[in-house]
Amino acid sequence: MMSPLDLFFRTGNTALLVLLALILINDNHHRPSAILGAIFALCVAGIHMLTITLEWDWRLLEMPLNLLVAASPFVFWLLAKSLFEDVFRWKWVYLLIYAVYAVAGVVGHYITFGDFRGIVHWFMRSDVAHHGLALLPFILINTTLIILALYAALKDWRVDLVESRRRARMVSMSLGGIVILGINAVEFFSLGTARSNLLDTSLSAAFFLLTLGVCTRYLGFRRGQPAMPVPFVFPSETPEEVDAEEGAHGAVVIDELKRLMGEEKVFCEEGFTIRRLADKLDVKEYRLRRLINGHLGYRNFNRFLNQYRIEEVARQLVAAETRHLPVLSIALDMGYRSLSPFNKAFKEIKGMTPTEYRNSHKAEF
């Protein structure tokens, strides 16, 4: 039996998350991250609402809420991709992945429990057959999606030049993924066992306070406080502002940076990192990130580096003194360790492969 306090927290969570979803869609419907952030908020709201429907036996709501809640790891993965990939595009393969994921959940649940209800809240049942082994494919896909989301969040952390996005990578998405993995493991290993009312109420209260804190901080619920962008939904999409004092000194740093890159060609060093560049400029690494983003507009250090490298490669591909050299030799001289990342970077910037670029300039030879 659900306690009145638990019901209060779950209802409050549901209301706040639905409100958050509506605000995200209304104010930022053109952004994939806003759409996915709103859907994810509804998925989390569905978790709280689902428990209420199971408690009060609202059968009509149970199945749609189950489908919504079961989608949360899949939506979390896409949300991570939309936030942390500089270019995110919708793909039909995402629907295929979700279809496989949903079928695995429904079939596994039917084999385990003998019906299609309660896909997420397995612990509500006591007649678990085969110790839930039929749910293992669903659990494995679920876990894989969360790990992929964490990978998307963390893989480019070192080269990210957007401070708000770096914070989002380390705090919001990573913490969220770990929490989801933890809940996933606890619920699976608790199949068929009774739940503690005190534990459920405590978890509901913790989620309520967290959700209320997010809404209070970032949606302008506090009196006299303007609404702010939600950092784990909208890391800055435009160059972040540099304050006046840092801007004056920053202009000097940027001039020296351009000299190092243009004249000394320090980008040719293999494994060149932003830390090494910061050491050469004698500035803190975090300040250099902010300056490159604020003054030059780059969001990713590798893109900044590739711009200089590819321009130099393009010059050498057609220059009289180097056009006879193999493409691989030129790529290695520019600091690339293999052809694959070099070819990808060249095509992104020039719109063609290095060989096609060289052939297109043969008339100039």
pLDDT tens, residue by residue, 151-162: 888 888 888 888
Collect all residues with Cβ–Cβ distance below 8 Å to 83 and sequence separation of at least 6: 33, 153, 165, 168, 173, 232, 233, 235
Supply 202's token pair: 């405590």
* pLDDT for the residue numbered 222: 46
Q: What is the pLDDT of residue 363?
A: 64
- Give the chain's mean pLDDT: 78
**What are the backbone angles phi and psi of residue 163, rounded to the nearest 5°?**
-60, -40
Among 31-35, 131-135, 208-212, the range of highest mean pLDDT: 31-35
- The mean pLDDT value for 46-71 works out to 75
Q: C-alpha distances in angstroms, 221 versus 16, 191, 217, 233?
A: 11, 39, 7, 18
pLDDT at 279: 93
- pTM of the predicted model as reported, rounded to 2 decimal places: 0.76
Question: Where does residue 226 fall: left (phi above 0), alpha (psi -120 to 50 degrees), or beta otherwise?
Answer: beta
Above 50 in pLDDT, residue 232?
A: no
Per-residue pLDDT band at 46 (split at 50, 70, 90):
confident
User: Which DSSP symbol is given to 334?
Assistant: T
- Stretch 299-328: mean pLDDT: 91
173 pLDDT tier (thresholds 50, 70, 90): low
**Two structure tokens written together for 299:** 């969001």
Phi, psi of 327 (to 5 degrees): -60, -40
Question: pLDDT tens for residues 338-365?
Answer: 888 899 999 999 999 999 999 887 766 5
Which of the two residues, 102 and 180, has the higher pLDDT score?
A: 102
Per-residue confidence (pLDDT) for residue 310, from 0 to 100: 95
179's CB contacts (< 8 A; 6+ apart) are none
Reduced to 3 states, what is the DSSP secondary structure of residue 300? strand
pLDDT in tens, 120-154: 444 444 444 445 566 677 777 888 888 888 888 88
Q: What pLDDT, on a 0 to 100 scale, did the predictor assign at position 314?
A: 92
Give CA–CA dist 235/160, Å, rounded.
11
Residue matched to tokens 């001289």: 333
Note the pLDDT tens digit of each residue in 271-282: 899 999 999 999
Q: What are phi and psi of 224, to 5 degrees?
A: 80, 0
Q: At what angle do helices 59-70 and 92-113 cross, to 10 degrees?
A: 130
Q: What is the structure's pLDDT at 342?
A: 92
pLDDT classification of 68: cutoffs 50, 70, 90: confident
Domains observed in the chain: 4-218 (1.20.1070), 239-299 (no CATH), 305-365 (1.10.10)
pLDDT at 237 > cutoff 60: no
Q: Are 252 and 276 in contact (CB under 8 A)?
A: no
Share of the chain above pLDDT 70, in %: 74
Q: Cβ(47)–Cβ(120) under 8 Å?
A: yes
Handedness of CA 86, 294, 337, 344 (dihedral sign): positive
The whole-number average pLDDT for the span 86-90 is 81
Stretch 80-109: mean pLDDT = 82
